[in-house]
Amino acid sequence: MQVEVVFALPQRQVLLTVAVADGATVAEVLAASGISRQFPGHDLDALQAGIWGQPVERSRVAREGDRIELFRPLEMNPRESRRLKIRV
pLDDT value for 73: 80
Model pTM score = 0.81
Task: Answer whether 49's CB lies under 8 Å from 35's CB.
Answer: no
pLDDT value for 10: 87
Mean pLDDT of the chain: 90
Q: Which domains does the chain have, with CATH numbers?
A: 2-87 (3.10.20.30)
pLDDT greater than 90 at residue 40: no
Taking residue 24's Cβ as centre, other Cβ atoms within 10 Å add up to 19
pLDDT value for 76: 62
**CA dist., res. 19 & res. 29, Å (int):** 8
pLDDT value for 78: 65
- Compute the average pLDDT of residues 62-79: 86
